């Protein structure tokens, strides 16, 4: 793979960004930055899903036009992502004129091919999820996830999704990495054991105006999920004149392909609706659909908007800073699983891994080099057994990180770096250069050189998660070459490189009394 295309769901602008949406976005950012570090070209799309009844209602409640409401909310997202150091390449809004046109082109194509037909729809609709449900799925007047539903009976248009059921099952079975983690793949295959219905893809304008007009019947707008899912492909050029080569480059080429990150609650739309839409349109399917878990509160329940208890990233970053929160999310939530977040968990993680581990190694070694070596890095490491062991671990770290990131396992990638840093701290404890500096300064120099090398390698490998902090660390240890290949090699720091002492990179955080 030469190129890495990654997406987050496009978020409903009926609410401000919260810890759940921040989580998907931070993880996409971390993955994009890692792939860039590995020397790939990378493209990252996030954005807002602006059509549909939910947004129309949210705007009405605020006395605004839907677009004015979305303009404001899209800005909230952009600001939040900037604050979290999200390096997206494109902020997607489904109200962009070119997207609307591309959606209409796709609808027309499916209509012309006979993949869409008109019929009467009778069933249930959940506005908060913007999902249609059958009688069987609705239990005690609620959707399977407990949301309110309303009864609908009206003429609508349907996409022949059922036609692609077997093709989709075969595709999933023949492409093991297509839906991950495995538990989610099995969930989709389980869902596909039942006969798959066709997908209602329209809403009459008498009910809903806020959507993409159907090109073959102007009394209707397109169902919001149909419009929204297409974003992943229109963002890189599907249906856009002049962008054919971009579409080829990011979507179709064997060297690229889309990687969709999403929460497990929106798996069916991504793993069933979307691939069948692409099959009918005649385009390649995404490379990977990765469903992550939920961020839970202290009581291990999903933090959710409807419960009114959603934390925001700011609830944490005000105390610990942005990059430490990124680190916590990437490290403590094993990608794909549910996991809790709380101030206590974040503070402990930051103190253990960042302040004590990496921060401590940096301050101890830089202080000693300033004190005993006039701030100039000694020349080389020792050749004794403990040093050999440390070097072996350090030289392996980059490859482990690469392998874990490529298999969507960032927690284990970070664990490998922390293990190396732990070993380096233990190594210094054993070698005690603060003592040998007074009796055998050459020995102290060799051991401090090893500590600096571990810091250099670890900081390059941690930079996608902690971009500014690691850049500062690398500057303090005089590192110029911050490439992945430099992280694979021991011994690149030159003798005499100026080492700076500086204030603590990650000050210890006191646990606030009121939590
Ligand atoms: N607009 C649709 C997505 C369309 S993509 C073509 C949507 N938007 S949303 O605003 O509701 O965003 C939901 C995303 O946030 C989902 O991926 C969902 O899993 C995630 N999260 C919401 N709460 C969450 C947690 N508590 N934890 C982790 N992620 C959760 O659905």
Q: What is the CATH number of the domain that holds 19?
A: 3.40.50.620
Q: How remote is the CA of residue 263 from the centroid of ligand 1, in Å? A: 6
Could you tell which of 11, 28, 184, 291 is best to mutate to test the pocket of ligand 1, judged by most ligand atoms within 8 Å of the CB? 11
Q: Are 265 and 271 in contact (CB under 8 A)?
A: no
Asked if residue 144 and residue 52 are part of one domain, the reply reads: yes
Structural domain includes residue 239? yes
From atom 25 of ligand 1, which residue's Cα is the shortest distance away? 20
Q: Mean pLDDT per 10-residue run, the chain (515 residues)? A: 96 92 98 98 98 93 96 97 98 97 98 97 89 89 92 94 98 97 98 95 93 98 97 96 95 94 97 98 97 89 66 94 98 96 96 96 97 96 98 98 98 98 98 97 98 98 98 97 98 97 94 82
Cβ of 302 closer than 6 Å to ligand 1, yes or no, is yes
Q: Identify whether residues 269 and 380 lie together within a single domain.
A: no
CA of 118 to the centre of ligand 1 (A): 31
* Domain closes at, from 292, 315, 334: 292
Q: How far is the CA of 24 from the centre of ligand 1 (A)?
A: 8
Nearest CA-CA partner of 233 in 269, 187, 281: 281
Return the SS3 of 17: coil
Q: 228 CB less than 6 Å from ligand 1?
A: yes
- For ligand 1, whether the C-beta of 21 sits within 6 Å is yes
Judge if 40 and 175 occupy the same domain. Answer: yes
Q: Which of 307, 308, 306, 267 is nearest to 288 (CA)?
A: 267
pTM exceeding the 0.85 threshold for the entire prediction: yes
Let me know the angle formed at the C-alpha of 495 by 493 and 496, rounded to the nearest 5 degrees. Answer: 110
Name the β-bridge partners of 302.
296
Cα separation, 494 vs 80, in Å, equals: 40
Say if residue 287 is in the same domain as residue 349. Answer: no
Q: Which string of b and e fits 70-90 if b means at least 16 CB within 10 Å?
A: bbebbeebbebbeebbbebee
Res 307: pLDDT:
57
Same-domain check for residues 222 and 356: no
Domain presence at residue 311: no
Same domain, 156 and 278: yes
Structure confidence at residue 309 (pLDDT): 62
Task: Determine if ligand 1 sits within 6 Å of the CB of residue 262.
Answer: yes
Query: Residue with structure tokens 């062991």?
Result: 389
Distance 23 CA to ligand 1 centre (A): 10
> Does a structural domain hold residue 507?
no
Q: Is 9 in the pocket of ligand 1 (CB under 6 A)?
A: yes
Q: Is residue 303 within 6 Å of ligand 1 at its C-beta?
A: yes
CA of 373 to the centre of ligand 1 (A): 53
Candidates 263, 290, 295: which one to mutate for ligand 1, based on the most atoms within 8 Å of Cβ?
263
Closest residue (by CA) to atom 9 of ligand 1? 11
Backbone angles phi, psi at 266, to 5 degrees: -120, 35
The reply to whether 300 falls in a domain is no
10, 17, 24: residue to mutate for ligand 1 pocket, most atoms within 8 A of CB: 24
Gap from CA of 387 to ligand 1 centroid (Å): 47
Question: Are 287 and 346 part of one and the same domain?
Answer: no
Q: Are residues 259 and 408 in the same domain?
A: no
Interatomic CA distance for residues 457 and 491, integer angstroms: 10
Residues across the chain? 515
How many whole angstroms from 306 Cα to the centroid of ligand 1?
A: 13
Asked if 380 contacts 491 with a C-beta cutoff of 8 angstroms, the reply is yes
Give residue 128's pLDDT: 87
C-beta 433 within 6 A of ligand 1: no
Does residue 95 sit in the same domain as residue 184? yes
Mutational test site, ligand 1, from 266, 272, 315, 332, max ligand atoms within 8 Å of CB = 266
Q: Give me the number of domains the chain comprises.
A: 2
Last residue in a domain, options 224, 259, 292: 292
Q: Per the domain annotation, does 299 fall within a domain?
A: no
In a domain, 40, yes or no: yes
23 lines ligand 1 (CB under 6 A): yes
Residue 152 inside a domain? The answer is: yes
pLDDT, position 136: 87
The bridge status of strand 199-200 relative to strand 3-11 is: unpaired
334 vs 336: CA distance, rounded Å: 6
Residue 271 sits in the same domain as residue 346 = no
CB atoms within 10 A of CB 150: 10
Q: What is the CA(10)–ligand 1 centre distance, in A? A: 8
Sign of the CA dihedral 369, 374, 379, 384?
negative
Residue nearest atom 19 of ligand 1, based on CA coordinates: 263
Q: Name the residue with the closest Cα to ligand 1, atom 24.
A: 20
Ligand 1 atom closest to the CA of 262, numbered from 1: 17
C-alpha 336, offset from chain centre: 11
The three-point CA angle 199-258-223 to 5° equals 25
Contacts of 93 (CB under 8 A, 6+ apart): 47, 48, 50, 70, 74, 99
CATH assignment of the domain containing 422 = 1.10.730.10
Which residues face 155 on adjacent strands? 120
Cis omega (within 30 of 0) on the bond before 181? yes
Same domain, 272 and 391: no
Dig out the tokens for 128 from the structure.
């908060």
Residues 196 and 280 in one domain: yes
Quote the pLDDT of residue 474: 98
What is the model's pLDDT at position 305? 60
Atom of ligand 1 nearest to the CA of 293: 28
The CB of 11 under 6 Å from ligand 1? The reply is: yes
Q: In which domain, by residue range, is 448 found?
A: 342-487
E strand segments, 241-327:
258-263, 288-292, 295-296
Atom of ligand 1 nearest to the CA of 15: 10
CA dist., res. 110 & res. 159, Å (int) = 8
Say if ligand 1 is within 6 A of residue 330 CB.
no
Asked, for residue 301, whether it belongs to a domain, the answer is no
Q: Strand order of the sheet with strand 213-214? A: 202-204, 217-222, 213-214
73 lines ligand 1 (CB under 6 A): no
């Amino acid at each position: 793979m030469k190129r890495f295309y990654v997406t987050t769901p496009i978020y409903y602008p009926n609410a401000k960004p919260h810890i759940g949406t921040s989580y998907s976005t931070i993880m996409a950012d971390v993955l994009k930055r890692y792939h860039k570090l590995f020397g790939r070209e990378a493209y990252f799309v996030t954005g807002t899903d602006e059509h549909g009844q939910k947004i129309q209602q949210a705007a009405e409640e605020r006395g605004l036009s839907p677009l004015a409401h979305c303009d404001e909310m899209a800005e909230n997202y952009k600001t939040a992502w900037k604050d979290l150091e999200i390096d997206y390449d494109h902020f997607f809004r489904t109200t962009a004129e070119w997207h609307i046109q591309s959606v209409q082109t796709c609808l027309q194509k499916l209509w012309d091919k006979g993949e869409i037909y008109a019929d009467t729809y009778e069933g249930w609709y959940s506005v908060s999820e913007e999902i249609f449900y059958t009688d069987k799925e609705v239990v005690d007047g609620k959707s399977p996830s407990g949301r309110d539903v309303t009864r609908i009976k009206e003429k609508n248009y349907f996409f022949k999704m059922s036609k692609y059921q077997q093709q989709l099952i075969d595709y999933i079975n023949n492409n093991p990495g297509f839906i991950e983690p495995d538990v989610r793949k099995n969930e989709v295959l389980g869902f596909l054991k039942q006969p798959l219905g066709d997908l209602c893809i329209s809403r009459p304008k008498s009910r809903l105006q806020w959507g993409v007009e159907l090109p073959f019947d102007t009394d209707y707008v397109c169902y919001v999920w149909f419009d929204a899912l297409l974003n992943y492909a229109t963002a890189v050029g599907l249906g856009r004149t002049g962008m054919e080569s971009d579409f080829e480059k990011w979507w179709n080429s064997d060297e690229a392909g889309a990687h969709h990150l999403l929460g497990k609650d929106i798996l069916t739309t991504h793993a069933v609706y979307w691939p069948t839409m692409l099959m009918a349109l005649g385009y390649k399917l995404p490379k990977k659909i990765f469903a992550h878990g939920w961020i839970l509160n202290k009581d291990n329940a999903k933090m959710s908007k409807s419960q009114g208890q959603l934390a925001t990233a700011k609830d944490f970053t005000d105390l610990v800073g942005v990059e430490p929160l990124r680190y916590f999310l990437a490290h403590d939530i094993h990608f794909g699983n549910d996991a809790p977040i709380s101030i206590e968990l974040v503070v402990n993680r930051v103190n253990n891994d960042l302040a004590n581990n990496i921060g401590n190694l940096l301050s101890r070694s830089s202080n000693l080099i300033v004190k005993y070596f006039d701030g100039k890095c000694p020349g080389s490491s020792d050749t004794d057994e403990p040093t050999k062991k440390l070097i072996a671990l350090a030289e392996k770290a980059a490859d482990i990180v690469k392998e874990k990131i490529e298999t969507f396992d960032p927690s284990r990638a970070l664990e490998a770096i922390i293990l190396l840093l732990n070993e380096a701290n233990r190594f210094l404890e054993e070698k005690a250069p603060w003592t040998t500096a007074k009796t055998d300064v050459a020995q102290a120099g060799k051991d401090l050189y090893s500590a600096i090398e571990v810091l250099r390698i670890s900081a390059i490998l941690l930079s996608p998660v902690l971009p500014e902090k690691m850049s500062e660390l690398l500057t303090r240890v005089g590192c110029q070459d911050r490439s992945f290949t430099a992280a694979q090699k021991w011994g690149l720091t030159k003798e005499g490189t100026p080492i700076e002492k500086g204030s603590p990179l990650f000050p210890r955080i006191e646990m606030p009394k009121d939590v």
